[in-house]
Chain A
Amino acid sequence: MQNHPVYTDTDPQSEYSTLNLGPTHPATHGVFQNVLQLDGERIVSGVSTIGYIHRAFEKIAEHRPFYQITPLTDRLNYCSSPINNMGWHMTVEKLLNITTPKRVDYMRIIIMELARIADHIICNGVLGVDTGAFTGFLYMMEYREEIYEIYEEICGSRLTTNIGRIGGFERNFNQIAFDKVRNFVKKFPPVLKEFEALFNRNRIFVDRTRGVAPVSAETALSYSWSGPLLRAAGVDYDVRAMEPYSSYEEFDFEVPVGDNGDVYSRFLVRNEEMWQSLRLIEQALNKIEKEPSDIFHADVPEFYLPPKEEVYNNMEALIYHFKIVMGEVDTPRAEVYHAVEATNGELGFYLVNDGGRSPYRLHFRRPSFINYQMYAPMSRGMLLSDAIINMSSLNIIAGELDA
C-alpha cells in the first residue's frame, strides 16, 4: 500500500521536496501524520495517514454492557468528555424509553455547556498560539482549570469524566459544585471579553487568519462537515436547535453563523458559541431552582444502580443490583440513532440492539473523523504555515478521529 503521494509530474524545472508533518510534530497538537509534497513553502499535494491511536472501541463495545460503554465514550473527544457521556446515556435512554426528570436535563445542560466552553477555550487559545500570540492561551487556560474543578466536584475526575449514569447522575450536585458554576458564570465573561479584545481586531491575527482556507457552504455540506466548521461556512445547522434533546427546546439561545468559512470566521463562531453557552448555563441555573432539589435521576431501578447502603439493607435494591451487574434485564430489540451537538459537530450514536445486555453493533459518527478528510485536499496550494493554523482551527481531536 502506498502511503506517499504518487507524483507523476516530470517537469525538470520543478523540484519538490517531501515533508513528513507528524506523527509527532509539535505544531499539530496530537498524533496526525500528513505527508506533504512541497514546492518551496507551498503545498502541492498531501496525504493524511490516520489511525495511530485506534483502539477498536466499536468492537469492544459489542462486549460491554451499556453502562460500561460510557468510559469508552470519554476517550473519543477527551477535551469535552461530558458531552460524549451524555450523548451515550441519552442514546440508551431513547432505546429503553426512559424519560428523565427536568432537573436532570438542566444538570446535563450545565455540564455539556461547560464542556463546550472548555473545548473552545483550548481550540481558540491554541489557534492564538499558532499565530504567535501566547497570551490569550495562558490567560484562558486558568478558566478551563476552573471547569475541570467543577467536573471534579461532580464526579471526581477531570479529563475522562465518566459523568452521569443511564437515567441521570450517580449523585446529586452538592452546594460547592453549584457555587463553583455560579462563580464561573460570573468570572468568565470579562475574561472572554478581554480575549476577544486581544484577537478580534488585532491586525496581525486578522491578517494571518482572514481568507485562509475558506470553505463554501456547498463544499462543507458535500464533505458532511458539521458543528462550528459548517456554521462558519454559513449553514445554520445545530443539532441542539434542529432536534432538541435534554430539553434544549425550552432554552433561549442563538446559533452563530460565519460568512466564508475561513479560519477567522471559525474563530469568531467558536467565541460566540462560548457566549451562548454562558447564556444557556445561566438559564439552566435559574430553571433548576424551581425543581425539587433531591431529584437527580429517573426512577428506573432496572437500569440505575442502587446506592451501596441500600444493596446491603434492602431486598429490592439487592435484586436490582444483581440484575444490572449480571445483565439479566431485558432490553428492546430496536435500532436507535441519536445525535448530540458535540463541540466539533454532530456526534451520532448508531446502536443496534438485539435484546441482550450489550449492543449488537454500535457505531460512533465522529465529527473529527468526518471533518478531517477535507484537510489534505483543501491544503493544496496553501502555504505550509497556513496549513498549520488551518489544522488548529479544524480542532481535530486524535481520540475522536481514530476511535
Chain B
Amino acid sequence: MGKITNEELLRRLDEKFGGTVVQTGADFGLLTVETSVDAIIDVLSFLKNDEALNFIFLTDITAIHYPESEKPIGVIYHLHSLTTNTRIRVKVFMPLENVHIPTATTLWDGANWMERETYDFFGVIFDGHPDLRRILNVDDMTVFPMRREYPLEDPNRVDKKDYFFGR
C-alpha cells in the first residue's frame, strides 16, 4: 500500500469529526492537525482502528509550552501507519489552569511511560493513567522543569549576560 496523501487523510478526518480536527501545518510533508481535549481519544482511536488508515504505531508523546499563548500547554502525539508508511502529528492545547487530558494508555500500552515523562516535565495530568508518577526527576520535586519559566541556570549570574558578547 502506498503512502496516504495529506489531502486524503484530512478528508477522512473531516468526514468523521467535522470541524473539530483542523490542519495547522504540513512542514516537510508531515501532516499536523489540532484537536480538542474532548475529542483527542476519539481521534486517536479512529486513526488507530480505521482499516484504511491503520496508524497502529505510537511513535511518541511529548508536550510543549508557549507561555504567551492563551492555551499554553500542548500535548503532541506522533503516530505512524506501518502498512502505508504514513506519519501524522496530532496536537492538543490546553489552558494552564486545566491541564487534564484523557490517557492514551487505553489504546497503547507504550503510552504509559511517555505520558509519565510528559507529566514529569510539563505537569500535564493524564486522567485515567494507571500510574502517573514522576519518572526521570526525583519524586519530591515540586516544579515541572521543562516549562519555559524555569531557567536553566541561576538567573542572578552576571558573567553570561548578552552585553559581554556585543549583543
Inter-subunit contact B60/A222 (CB<8 Å): no
User: Which of A51, A335, A365 is the one whose CB lies under 8 Å from B137?
Assistant: A51
The residue of chain B having its C-beta at the shortest distance from the C-beta of A402 within the complex is B136
Bitwise interface map of A from 353 to 371 toward B, beta carbon under 8 Å scored 1, else 0? 0000000110101000110
User: Which of B28, B78, B110, B134 is the one whose CB lies under 8 Å from A334?
Assistant: B28
Most buried by B among A1, A60, A219: A1
Inter-chain CA distance A44–B54, complex, in Å, is: 35
Inter-subunit contact B113/A348 (CB<8 Å): no
Stretch at the interface among A78-86, A137-145, A235-243: A235-243
Of residues 296 through 320 on chain A, the ones whose CB sits less than 8 Å from some CB of chain B are: none
Inter-subunit contact B62/A335 (CB<8 Å): no
Inter-subunit contact A335/B108 (CB<8 Å): no
A177 within 8 A of B: no
Chain A interface residue count, Cβ-Cβ cutoff 8 angstroms: 44
The residue of chain A having its C-beta at the shortest distance from the C-beta of B91 within the complex is A335
Inter-subunit contact B112/A242 (CB<8 Å): no
The residue of chain A having its C-beta at the shortest distance from the C-beta of B167 within the complex is A326
Inter-subunit contact A221/B59 (CB<8 Å): no
Inter-subunit contact B78/A59 (CB<8 Å): no
User: Which of A59, A237, A361 is the one whose CB lies under 8 Å from B145?
Assistant: A59
Inter-chain CA distance A116–B32, complex, in Å, is: 32
User: Which of A221, A222, A337, A370 is the one whose CB lies under 8 Å from B87?
Assistant: A337
Of residues 55 through 69 on chain B, the ones whose CB sits less than 8 Å from some CB of chain A are: 56-60, 62, 64-65
Inter-chain CA distance A1–B58, complex, in Å, is: 28
The residue of chain A having its C-beta at the shortest distance from the C-beta of B133 within the complex is A1
Prevailing SS type, chain A contact patch: mixed
Inter-subunit contact A223/B134 (CB<8 Å): no
User: Which of A2, A60, A373, A402 is the one whose CB lies under 8 Å from B112?
Assistant: A373
> A224 → chain B, closest Cβ, in Å?
3
> B70 → chain A, closest Cβ, in Å?
18
Residues in A whose Cβ lies below 8 Å from that of B28: 94, 334, 336
Inter-subunit contact B137/A54 (CB<8 Å): yes
User: Which of A50, A222, A337 is the one whose CB lies under 8 Å from B108?
Assistant: A222
Inter-subunit contact A59/B152 (CB<8 Å): yes
Bitwise interface map of B from 72 to 116 toward A, beta carbon under 8 Å scored 1, else 0? 000010100010010101000000000000000000111011100
Inter-subunit contact A222/B109 (CB<8 Å): yes
> A242 → chain B, closest Cβ, in Å?
5
Given contacts A336-B28, A373-B113, contact A365 B60 (CB under 8 A): yes
Given contacts A50-B135, A326-B165, A361-B64, contact A335 B110 (CB under 8 A): no
Inter-chain CA distance A361–B122, complex, in Å, is: 12
> A216 → chain B, closest Cβ, in Å?
12
Inter-chain CA distance A352–B30, complex, in Å, is: 13
Interface residues of B (CB under 8 A from A): 25, 27-28, 30, 32, 56-60, 62, 64-65, 76, 78, 82, 85, 87, 89, 108-110, 112-114, 117, 121, 133-140, 145-146, 150, 152, 165-167
Interface residues of A (CB under 8 A from B): 1-3, 50-51, 54, 56, 58-60, 62-63, 94, 219, 221-225, 235, 237, 242-243, 326, 334-337, 339, 346, 348, 350, 352, 360-361, 363, 365, 369-370, 372-374, 402-403
**10 A-B contact pairs sorted by A residue (CB < 8 Å):** A1-B133, A94-B28, A221-B56, A222-B109, A222-B110, A223-B109, A243-B85, A350-B76, A360-B64, A370-B113
